[in-house]
């Protein structure tokens, strides 16, 4: 039996037991799990291995590619500029990025980018993963494109380009790339072990991702003119690309953030704690309220999930994620099952990051088990 490392309060023994079971059974390879309640880490656990050969232990300094959990940090960066009065979510993107007005996008608002409703959820063909590594050039291509559906009418998950769109707005407003902004304005001040991409000096402590089974749907079935097909092939990728130097060197604010449960919780707890973490204020209450302004509520045109999108974050939707309760909660997760949940009523943040990717699009049986165990034992 492998007992997870770290600490947890006795009332969360079921959470520790669930992680232990998954590590023992092999469902988990390596993982970290944090529950922060108003700045106190009542659960701070990690365990397992970084590698499939099970020769290198996952320790408290291990980081991994967290896939779309990265988007939650990218959204925070944009909201920080909103809070400073430098960015208005209700203004056209073209106010800050004039080239984006091309091909009928002059009325696309910043809030549309943040809620996946802009109509630009990938690159027009031809598109390869290497195209995304040249961040500015890829953003310029997106600015020149026509939208794939009428902006603002529905969400179509901005799978790999969310960070290119938001990042270019951040760059135009702040003069810094998204990677720089996150390092200097978020991770640095908070002392959070998180970065967009991963510096070469940190590669030795990265847990490579272990790819999941194929996704449970075929983009061809939707038709080549559909937003789903265009997004999933614009560009397509396999999970093992995350283990390459080129991916780690890139600035992909949709998908190549590197961190662990502790660092992601440290950053995103700013939301549940009223915008401030240990004296470092990132957001004010008025800006936080924007998160709950519903922008889309229905079946997403790209990933096919029934989703409620606020500004920057998903909101509870029982049909899709029944194990996240109703209430003043926002969340999102990464391919393979990583999850970050901010519960405003309880001033609580739940963070789960791992290297062995599970089947599916959002969440996993493992993340569901941990989250249920947290909520079952809050009293």
- Tens-place pLDDT, residues 43-93: 999 999 999 999 999 999 999 999 999 999 999 999 999 999 999 999 999
Residue 375 belongs to what H/E stretch?
helix 365-376
Q: Which residues does 214 contact at the CB level (< 8 Å), separation at least 6?
A: none
Q: Which domains does the chain have, with CATH numbers?
A: 5-376 (3.40.710.10)
What is each CA distance from 338 to 30, 72, 149, in whole angstroms? 12, 12, 29
Burial class (CB in 10 A: 0-12, 13-18, 19+), 328: middle
Q: Which residues does 139 contact at the CB level (< 8 Å), separation at least 6?
A: 164, 165, 167, 168
- Tens-place pLDDT, residues 337-374: 999 999 999 999 999 999 999 998 899 999 999 999 99
Beta bridge partners of 195: 258
* Phi and psi at residue 121, to the nearest 5°: -110, 20
- Tens-place pLDDT, residues 9-23: 999 999 999 999 999
- Tens-place pLDDT, residues 168-223: 999 999 999 999 999 999 999 999 999 999 999 999 999 999 999 887 667 777 78
């Amino acid at each position: 039996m492998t007992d997870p490392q770290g600490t947890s309060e006795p009332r969360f023994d079921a959470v520790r037991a669930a992680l232990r079971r998954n590590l023992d059974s092999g469902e988990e390879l390596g993982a970290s799990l944090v529950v922060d309640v108003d700045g106190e880490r009542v659960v701070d656990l990690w365990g397992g291995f970084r590698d499939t050969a099970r020769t290198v232990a996952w320790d408290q300094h291990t980081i991994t590619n967290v896939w779309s959990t990265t988007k939650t940090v990218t959204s925070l960066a944009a909201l920080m500029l909103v809070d400073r009065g430098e960015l208005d979510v209700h203004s056209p993107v073209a106010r800050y990025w004039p080239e984006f007005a091309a091909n009928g996008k002059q009325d696309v608002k910043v809030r549309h980018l943040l809620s996946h409703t802009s109509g630009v959820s990938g690159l027009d063909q031809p598109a390869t993963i290497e195209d995304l590594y040249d961040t500015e050039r890829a953003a310029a291509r997106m600015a020149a494109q026509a939208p794939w559906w009428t902006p603002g009418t529905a969400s179509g998950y901005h799978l790999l380009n969310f960070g290119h769109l938001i990042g270019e707005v951040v760059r135009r407003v702040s003069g810094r790339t998204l990677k720089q902004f996150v390092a200097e304005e978020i991770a640095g001040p908070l002392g959070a072990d998180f970065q967009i991409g991963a510096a070469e000096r940190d590669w030795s402590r990265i847990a490579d991702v272990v790819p999941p089974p194929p996704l449970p749907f075929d983009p061809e079935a939707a038709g080549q003119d559909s937003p789903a097909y265009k997004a999933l092939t614009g560009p397509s990728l396999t999970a093992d690309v995350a283990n390459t130097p080129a991916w780690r060197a890139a600035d992909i604010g949709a998908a190549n953030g590197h961190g662990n449960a502790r660092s992601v919780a440290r950053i995103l707890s700013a939301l549940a704690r009223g915008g401030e973490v240990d004296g470092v204020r990132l957001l004010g209450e008025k800006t936080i309220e924007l998160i709950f302004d519903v922008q889309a509520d229905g079946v997403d045109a790209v990933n096919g999930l029934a989703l409620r999108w606020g500004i920057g974050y998903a909101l509870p939707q029982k049909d899709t994620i029944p194990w996240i309760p109703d209430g003043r909660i926002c969340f999102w997760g990464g391919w393979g099952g990583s999850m970050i949940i901010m519960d405003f009523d309880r001033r609580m943040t739940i963070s789960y990051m791992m290297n062995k990717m599970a089947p599916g699009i959002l969440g996993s049986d493992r993340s569901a088990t941990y989250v249920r165990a947290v909520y079952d034992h809050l009293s």
